């Protein structure tokens, strides 16, 4: 698939509905940063901006990147309705397969950065990891399995990574990174038609020495 195909796929996905995600920040992100001083954050695949907006409201300077213009426009509009300091979030429409992060960060976050379009996930994550400052964190949250409402689409098409696969695939230098958390966490979730389910997320949190 070309760059244009990936952008078209995701933009189409967003334009099918007024809102796809809950708008709330991901639990693992909130748990990760709640007891840390704010700094610079990079949100990879920010979608409709739930995490980026929450971070900005908690004093972080955020760069939020997504390939889907519809999602980023939506996120920006949500930001305009909130009481955020000017310039607190840099919204970027870009393809992470080729995009180079412009700065360094106390937090790089990739929450559910899954894509059915050819996506060099580990290359993207490694490039972003290289921008984490000493003492900073890399947070990667993924689905341990498909949510029940996505089963029909996901099975056979998407391989959900185990924690071991996630850590091995990152190939980060163990002398440079401490593993703060590597675990499956359960959470309640609501599907697109209002159905409730308990989901398992893989949560990997690494701290750069």
Ligand X SMILES: C[S@@+](CC[C@H](N)C(=O)[O-])C[C@H]1O[C@@H](n2cnc3c(N)ncnc32)[C@H](O)[C@@H]1O
User: Which residues within the stretch 93-112 sit at the binding site for ligand X (CB under 6 A)?
Assistant: 95-97, 111-112
Buried b (16+ CB within 10 A) or exposed e, 163-189: beebbeebebeeeebeeebeeeeeeeb
- Does position 185 bind ligand X by CB under 6 A? no
Q: Which strand (E) or helix (H) includes residue 54? A: helix 50-57
Taking the complex as a whole, how short is the minimal distance between the CB of residue 13 and ligand X, in angstroms? 7
Residue 128 near residue 102 (C-beta atoms within 8 A): no
| CA–CA dist 152, 147 (Å, integer) | 10
Taking the complex as a whole, how short is the minimal distance between the CB of residue 95 and ligand X, in angstroms? 5
- Does position 21 bind ligand X by CB under 6 A? yes
Residue 62 near residue 55 (C-beta atoms within 8 A): yes
| CA–CA dist 190, 12 (Å, integer) | 22
Q: Which stretch binds ligand X (CB under 6 A): 53-61, 76-84, 92-100, 197-205?
A: 92-100
Which two tokens mark 102? 């412009």
User: Which residues within the stretch 47-76 sit at the binding site for ligand X (CB under 6 A)?
Assistant: 47, 50, 65-68, 71
Q: Which stretch binds ligand X (CB under 6 A): 54-62, 89-97, 166-174, 191-199?
A: 89-97
Between residues 61 and 115, which has the closer beta carbon with respect to ligand X? 115
Taking the complex as a whole, how short is the minimal distance between the CB of residue 175 and ligand X, in angstroms? 30
- Does position 119 bind ligand X by CB under 6 A? yes
Number of residues that bind ligand X (CB under 6 A): 22
Helix axis angle, 50-57 to 69-80, nearest 10°: 30
Q: Which positions touch ligand X (CB under 6 A)? A: 6, 10, 21, 26, 45-47, 50, 65-68, 71, 95-97, 111-115, 119
């Amino acid at each position: 698939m070309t760059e244009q195909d990936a952008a078209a796929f995701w933009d189409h996905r967003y334009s099918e509905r007024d809102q796809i995600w809950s708008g709330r920040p991901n639990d693992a992100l909130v748990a990760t940063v709640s007891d840390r001083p704010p700094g610079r954050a990079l949100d990879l695949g920010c979608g409709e901006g739930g995490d980026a907006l929450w971070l900005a409201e908690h004093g972080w300077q955020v760069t939020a990147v997504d390939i889907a213009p519809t999602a980023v426009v939506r996120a920006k509009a949500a930001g305009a309705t909130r009481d955020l300091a000017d310039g607190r979030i840099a919204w970027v429409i870009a393809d992470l397969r080729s995009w180079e992060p412009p700065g360094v960060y106390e937090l790089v976050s990739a929450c559910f950065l899954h894509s059915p379009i050819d996506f060099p996930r580990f290359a993207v994550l490694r490039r972003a990891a290289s921008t984490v400052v000493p003492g900073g964190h890399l947070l990667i949250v993924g689905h341990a399995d498909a949510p029940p409402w996505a089963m029909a689409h996901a099975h056979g098409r998407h391989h959900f990574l185990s924690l071991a696969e996630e850590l091995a695939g990152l190939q980060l230098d163990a002398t440079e990174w401490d593993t703060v958390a590597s675990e499956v966490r359960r959470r309640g979730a609501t599907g697109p038609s209002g159905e409730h389910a308990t989901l398992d997320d893989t949560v990997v949190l690494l701290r750069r020495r």
